[in-house]
Each structure stands twice: as structure tokens, then as C-alpha cells.
């Protein structure tokens, strides 16, 4: 039943894409958005299924239903956020579309009255095509830049939060934070710090058990206060 709802949601997402301007929301942009949603849904469902595998199956049904409802909200947020951040591009593109419409009407009038145009007049159409191409490139570049900028911010926050942590703790932190949403810088930083504290607490509990079993004469090795560079974290986040 819930799988049917998920399929219906995919169809709804496809209809939204079809209603968008294909010049701004190109097939590549649509594919990235669709892949992002499907990946997020699949990962969340898989994680929840494992947690509830031996528990009450009804909880999984509720989770899937809630997840389907959240997709619409997330889609609305993504589109509004995208339009807001690319306001200049959208405005320029609207001007291009208007110019194209005027040019088409002008060409029809020229043909109807058999008017001869100079090469300079014809060049205007080429300039509009170039401007449209540049708008598309700029849109794609903005999307890529946003993703890269987000990865750098993620890496910097994770690097700062893991000062003094062991290699194992750092790996646990990276793996856990990979699936976190990057709503705002402050919220993500709070989440990372909370997760790091939890990992350290659990590690300390395990270490205390091990220490109680060791010989008291074993020499204690000081822990290195390490901080991995941001560039190293970026490799994990890709």
C-alpha cells in the first residue's frame, strides 16, 4: 500500500517537472533532484526497516506514510529556495524568453511583407541564442557551486568537532553525518557536536571496561590531539 503511495509520489514529482520551464529546470537538473529524493527515501526506509525488523511492523507503515507526506514539503522548499538563490538567472531568462517571442512575431511580419533584412539584424537572433546558452550554463554552475560550498562547510564543521578524537571515532562521525540534512550552518553544527559527544561517551564506556581488564603495569600512551584537515574530510563526503 505504501509502495503504491511512493510510486504515486514519483508520478507527482514527474508532473511537477513537466510543469516547470524546461530551459531552467533542464533534464540534468531534474535528474539530480529526482535522484536526490529517491536516494533519501530509499536510505531512510532501509534504515528504518532494519530498526523495526524484529519490532512492530505497523511502525514501519506509519513511517513510510509520514515520509511520503514530507516529500511534497521538501519539494516545495527546494523549488522556492532554488528560485530565491537564482533570482537573477531566472529574471534574465525571462527576458530572453520575451525577446524570443518578440523576435518570432517580428520574423513572421517580415516574411508576410517580404521585407529584406541586413546581416546585422539577423545577428540579433544569434545573440539571443548565445544569451540563452549562457543562462543555462550559469544555472548549472550555481547548482554545482551550492553543492561544493555545502560540502566544504560540512567538512569544516566535522573537522572542528573531531579535535582530539581517535581515528575510529572520526570515521564513525563521518559515516553518521553523511546522511544529515544541511538545513543551516548552525543547525548542522549542533547536530555534529551532539553526535560527536555521543560517540565519545560510548567510546569512553567501552574503554573503561577494557582498562579494568588490563594489567596495571601497562604504560599509558598519551592520546594525540589531532585535527584532520578539511580536504581530508571532503574525500569522505563525496
**Per the structure block, which three cell numbers stand in for 17?**
517537472
Which one has a higher pLDDT value, 237 or 221? Answer: 237
Confidence band (pLDDT; 50, 70, 90) for 123?
A: low
- Who contacts 47 (Cβ-Cβ below 8 Å, separation ≥6)? none
Task: Answer positive or negative: Cα dihedral of 181, 144, 146, 99.
Answer: negative
How many other CB atoms sit within 10 Å of the CB of residue 177? Answer: 21
Q: pTM score, two decimals?
A: 0.35
- Who contacts 144 (Cβ-Cβ below 8 Å, separation ≥6)? none
Q: pLDDT tens across 29-82, in order?
A: 767 777 777 777 777 777 777 776 766 656 656 666 666 666 666 666 666 666
Q: pLDDT tens across 162-211, in order?
A: 888 888 988 888 888 887 887 788 888 898 889 989 988 888 776 556 55
In the block, residue with C-alpha cell 571496561: 209
pLDDT of residue 222: 47
Amino acid at each position: 500500500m505504501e509502495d503504491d503511495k511512493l510510486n504515486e509520489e514519483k508520478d507527482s514529482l514527474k508532473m511537477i517537472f513537466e510543469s516547470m520551464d524546461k530551459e531552467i529546470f533542464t533534464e540534468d537538473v531534474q535528474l539530480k533532484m529526482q535522484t536526490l529524493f529517491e536516494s533519501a527515501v530509499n536510505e531512510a526506509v532501509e534504515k528504518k526497516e532494519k530498526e523495526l525488523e524484529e519490532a512492530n511492523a505497523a511502525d514501519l507503515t506509519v513511517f513510510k506514510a509520514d515520509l511520503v507526506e514530507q516529500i511534497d514539503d521538501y519539494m516545495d522548499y527546494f523549488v522556492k529556495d532554488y528560485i530565491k538563490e537564482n533570482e537573477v538567472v531566472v529574471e534574465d531568462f525571462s527576458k530572453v524568453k520575451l525577446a524570443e517571442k518578440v523576435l518570432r512575431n517580428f520574423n513572421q511580419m517580415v516574411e508576410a511583407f517580404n521585407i529584406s533584412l541586413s546581416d546585422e539584424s539577423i545577428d540579433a537572433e544569434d545573440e539571443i541564442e548565445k544569451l540563452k546558452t549562457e543562462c543555462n550554463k550559469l544555472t548549472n554552475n550555481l547548482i554545482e557551486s551550492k553543492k561544493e560550498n555545502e560540502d566544504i562547510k560540512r567538512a569544516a564543521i566535522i573537522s572542528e568537532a573531531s579535535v582530539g578524537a581517535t581515528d575510529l571515532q572520526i570515521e564513525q562521525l563521518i559515516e553518521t553525518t553523511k546522511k544529515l540534512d544541511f538545513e543551516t550552518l548552525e543547525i548542522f553544527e549542533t547536530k555534529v557536536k551532539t553526535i560527536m559527544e555521543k560517540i565519545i561517551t560510548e567510546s569512553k564506556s567501552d574503554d573503561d571496561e577494557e582498562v579494568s581488564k588490563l594489567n596495571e603495569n601497562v604504560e599509558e600512551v598519551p592520546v594525540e590531539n589531532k585535527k584532520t584537515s578539511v580536504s581530508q574530510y571532503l574525500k569522505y563526503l563525496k
